[in-house]
Amino acid sequence: MIKQERAARTREALVRAAAEVFAEQGFVTASIAAISRRAGVSAGGLHFHFENKAALALAVEDRAAEALRCVTVGGGGRAGGGSLQVLVDSSHALMALLAGDVVVRAGFELSAESALARESGVDLRRQWRLWVEDVLRAAAREGSLADGVSPQDAARAVVAATVGLQVLGAVDRDWVLPPTLTRFWALLLPRLAASGTLGELVAEGTGAGDESRTLCRGVISD
Amino acid sequence: MIKQERAARTREALVRAAAEVFAEQGFVTASIAAISRRAGVSAGGLHFHFENKAALALAVEDRAAEALRCVTVGGGGRAGGGSLQVLVDSSHALMALLAGDVVVRAGFELSAESALARESGVDLRRQWRLWVEDVLRAAAREGSLADGVSPQDAARAVVAATVGLQVLGAVDRDWVLPPTLTRFWALLLPRLAASGTLGELVAEGTGAGDESRTLCRGVISD
């Protein structure tokens, strides 16, 4: 039992170290040796858990996918204010994870690279896009989307902006901090929300995001 | 004279081949040998023009920076409909270059990588952001921005979305095709434009973008 716990801790340390090294150097440049050194694990210990660098990358991507599922499901279950508020809250939760958790951040970057190279892997941006589309279609069904706004067009704009914030945030952290996303929603919500529902919406999130974020951090790595 | 022309053509072929190889393989993986092979130029010929891979990357970035200047200056001089239309037209011209010109596309990617690594180089996304901010401040001064919309917040949203479209377009080309950007502007302009000016604005661009795009393509590589 203690042996199993130790193995789980070692695996955890390797995934985190891999995420750090990938985030700093990129997948191509990162070496297995740098990852085992960072984790304080021997080369043999690393190979007991992971066959190669690609297996480590996949583990990091899987963690990020888990975080994305947690943030989107968690948000859906809790927020008041209808589907638009669910979207706002989950986007805040996702950005907070991207800003604060290197495993999630590296997972999204690796996922984008592997989608580019058409390799196997998890396409996290696609997962995010499909979820945003679902939520905006739900908003349209419940009558909280403004007349004449297509859920699909709104989804494309939200996905493009959130992916952009994430990419820009890799160079300048301001882009992924809460005030930036809050101002984005304060700009966009008056266009998206049906008349009469705007007053109910909170651009900075309702705190439902905070709860699920804490929950999701527990699921992941902190 | 003929010798100079030949040298210019060789340099041109090298920059284009470098852009293609960087776009396909990334800067780190790309080899000098692959670039000279692609350009049909000997290793000696390559080194006559470029000291190393970093010098080639910088040449590609410089071309992209030239294209960005061309698109933004060109748009500014021509479009009717005020500053918001200038922004719409230039964004279409930029996306068309990103979709159609591998040198511009690779230049933006290299620029993002070098900004990440804090190396020397041209920060094209920053250049784009500063220009978008200028145009939106001009829109506010001329009274064509809606009451209560901050130029800075609008600029952040536009920059995040356009960078996101570009990044998503590297995997799925639909994101950088004109209809996607047109739908983005059709969604956002009713929120950005002062009442009474929306009717003058053309989300798909006025064609001023097309003119400057053709001009800019000439400046660059086609």
Interface test with A, best of B28, B163, B175, B192 (most A CBs within 10 A): B163
Other C-beta atoms lying within 10 Å of the C-beta of residue A35: 24
Q: How far apart are CA B187 and CA B180, in angstroms?
A: 11
Higher pLDDT, B120 or B46: B46
Closest CA to A145 of A155, A153, A137: A137
Q: Looking at the domain assignment, is residue B123 inside a domain?
A: yes
Q: What is the 3-state secondary structure (H, E, C) of chain A?
A: CHHHHHHHHHHHHHHHHHHHHHHHHCCCCCCHHHHHHHHCCCHHHHHHHCCCHHHHHHHHHHHHHHHHHHHHHHHHHHCCCHHHHHHHHHHHHHHHHHHHCHHHHHHHHHHHHHHHCCCCCCCHHHHHHHHHHHHHHHHHHCCCECCCCCHHHHHHHHHHHHHHHHHHHCCCHHHHCHHHHHHHHHHHHHHHECCCCHHHCCCCCCCHHHHHHHHHHHHCCC
What percentage of chain A reaches a pLDDT higher than 90? 68
Averaged pLDDT for residues A82-92: 94
- CATH number of the domain at B153, please: 1.10.357.10
What percentage of chain A reaches a pLDDT higher than 70? 86
Beta bridge partners of A145: A193
From A10-24, A169-183, A197-211, the region with the lowest mean pLDDT: A197-211
Q: Closest to A28 (Cβ–Cβ): which among B26, B112, B156?
A: B26
Averaged pLDDT for residues A116-143: 86
Residue B182: what pLDDT?
A: 97
Q: Looking at the domain assignment, is residue A134 inside a domain?
A: yes
Interface of B with A in 154-213 (CB under 8 A): 154, 156-157, 159-165, 167-168, 170-171, 175, 180, 183-184, 186-188, 190-191
Beta bridge partners of B193: B145
Beta bridge partners of A122: none
CB within 8 Å: A168 and B149: no
Averaged pLDDT for residues B41-50: 94
Contact B182, B209 (CB under 8 A): no
Q: Looking at the domain assignment, is residue B67 inside a domain?
A: yes
Averaged pLDDT for residues B135-156: 95
Chain B residues inside the 8 Å CB shell of A165? 160, 164
Closest chain A residue to B113, measured at CA: A171
**Could you give the number of structural domains in chain B?**
1
Residue A78: what pLDDT?
A: 46
Closest CA to A133 of A100, A117, A115, A156: A156
CB within 8 Å: B116 and A168: no
From B62-76, B90-104, B130-144, the region with the lowest mean pLDDT: B62-76
Tell me what ipTM this predicted complex has: 0.88
Q: Closest to A190 (Cβ–Cβ): which among B112, B153, B191?
A: B191
The model's pLDDT over A26-75, given as tens digits with 9 standing for 90+, comes to 888 899 999 999 999 999 999 999 999 999 999 999 999 999 998 887 54
Averaged pLDDT for residues B164-179: 91
- A53 in contact with B, Cβ within 8 Å: no
Chain A residues inside the 8 Å CB shell of B157? 161, 183-184, 187-188
Closest chain B residue to A174, measured at CA: B156
Give the contacts of A63 (CB within 8 A, at least 6 positions apart).
A15, A19, A103, A104, A107, A220, A221
Q: Looking at the domain assignment, is residue B31 inside a domain?
A: no
Interface of A with B in 54-93 (CB under 8 A): none
Residue A129: what pLDDT?
A: 94
Q: Looking at the domain assignment, is residue A11 inside a domain?
A: no
Closest CA to B60 of B18, B29, B3, B100: B18
From A201-205, B22-26, B141-145, the region with the lowest mean pLDDT: B22-26
CB within 8 Å: A171 and B112: yes
From A29-43, B10-24, B98-112, the region with the lowest mean pLDDT: B98-112
Q: Closest to B168 (Cβ–Cβ): which among A125, A150, A168?
A: A125
Q: Looking at the domain assignment, is residue A52 inside a domain?
A: no
The model's pLDDT over B65-84, given as tens digits with 9 standing for 90+, comes to 999 998 887 544 444 568 99
Q: How far apart are CA A82 and CA B8, in angstroms?
A: 61
Tokens 């022309």 sit on residue:
B5
Q: Looking at the domain assignment, is residue B128 inside a domain?
A: yes
pLDDT for B29 beyond 70:
yes
Range of B96's domain?
Answer: 60-219
Q: Looking at the domain assignment, is residue A64 inside a domain?
A: yes
From A136-140, B144-148, B158-162, B208-212, the region with the lowest mean pLDDT: B208-212
Residue A49: what pLDDT?
A: 95
CB within 8 Å: A153 and B115: no
Q: Which helix (H) or strand (E) holds B15?
A: helix B2-25
Closest chain A residue to B154, measured at CA: A187
Give SS3 for B193.
strand
Triad B84, B89, B91: Cα angle to 5° = 95
Confidence of residue A77 (pLDDT cuts 50, 70, 90): very low
Buried residues in B154-173 as b, exposed as e (16+ CB within 10 A): bbbbbbbbbbbbbbbbbbee
In total, chain B counts a number of residues equal to 222
